[in-house]
């Protein structure tokens, strides 16, 4: 079952969305569930590409840290690239108020992998503090279309690995990605990336509105 975060519920009860807003949504804007396999059933990621062990001790070489953030003001996604202790590249974007923090997390991973494939071929680690995003990206039958894109990129670039990292543990890259994502979420005129809207979010929104109207 999909659960809304506290910040999303705050948006609903404070009236950040209206039925008029919802009526303006086109069917093409609603996220469709992907089905089947994203690759041949015999194709899997290398066992060394994905890890849910804390990768916080990986502090040398080329690393990319990702994060997604949801505040009362908005939703943001970001990543930063580090070589040893130096931040050499940053990316961030704002999402619609109607998008979810999971969408921000998975988008950040996708953008990080896309950036990684443009770099000189060497072992590279993407460090993600959201296990749900990692599990979704590693699943060739994921229902999430962005996760499927990540799987395909990782499968064709086995030198890129994705590891979980504990959030808010003082890791420089993780703290920087978190700061960037929050900045994007809270800056109203920040460049925005359009994403489809998740059906469970819309269903929950309508249910909450109907309950509120019936009181």
> Which tens digits make up the pLDDT trace of 89-122?
999 999 988 899 999 999 999 999 999 999 987 8
- Say what the pLDDT of residue 36 is: 58
Alpha-helical (H) ranges within 79-144 are: 101-116, 131-138
- Say what the pLDDT of residue 12 is: 44
Q: Report the percentage of the chain scoring pLDDT > 70.
A: 77
What would the pLDDT profile of 53-92 be if each residue is shown by its tens digit?
999 999 888 999 999 999 999 999 999 999 988 999 999 9
d(CA 173, CA 17) in angstroms, rounded, equals 34
Domains of the chain, by residue range, sit at: 58-193
What would the pLDDT profile of 17-48 be if each residue is shown by its tens digit?
444 455 555 555 566 666 555 555 567 798 89
Residue 123, sorted as left (phi over 0), alpha (psi -120 to 50) or beta, turns out to be beta
Min mean pLDDT across 32-46, 137-151, 171-185 is at: 32-46
2 CB-contact burial (10 Å; exposed 0-12 / middle 13-18 / buried 19+): exposed
8 Å CB contact between 66 and 163: no
d(CA 126, CA 41) in angstroms, rounded, equals 25
pTM: 0.79
Q: Give the pairing of strands 62-70 and 75-83.
A: antiparallel
Nearest to 49 by CA among 106, 132, 124, 116: 124
Answer yes or no: CATH 3.30.420.10 is held by domain 58-193.
Answer: yes
């Amino acid at each position: 079952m999909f659960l809304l975060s506290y910040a999303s519920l705050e948006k609903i009860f404070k009236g950040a969305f209206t039925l008029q807003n919802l009526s303006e949504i086109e069917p093409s804007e609603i996220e469709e569930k992907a089905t089947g396999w994203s690759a041949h059933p015999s194709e899997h990621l290398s066992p060394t590409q994905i890890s849910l062990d804390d990768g916080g001790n990986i502090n040398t070489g080329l690393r990319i840290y990702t994060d997604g953030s949801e505040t009362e003001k908005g939703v943001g996604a970001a990543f930063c690239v580090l070589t040893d202790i130096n931040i050499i590249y940053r990316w961030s974007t704002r999402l619609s108020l109607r998008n979810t923090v999971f969408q921000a997390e998975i988008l950040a991973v996708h953008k990080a992998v896309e950036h990684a494939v443009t770099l000189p071929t060497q072992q590279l680690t993407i460090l993600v503090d959201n296990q749900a995003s990692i599990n979704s990206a590693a699943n060739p039958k994921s229902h999430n279309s962005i996760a499927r894109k990540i799987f395909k990129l990782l499968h064709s670039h086995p030198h890129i690995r994705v590891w979980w990292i504990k959030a808010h543990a003082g890791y420089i890259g993780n703290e920087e990605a978190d700061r960037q994502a929050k900045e994007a979420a809270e800056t109203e005129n920040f460049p925005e990336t359009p994403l489809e809207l998740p059906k469970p979010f819309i269903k929950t929104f309508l249910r909450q509105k109907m309950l509120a109207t019936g009181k």
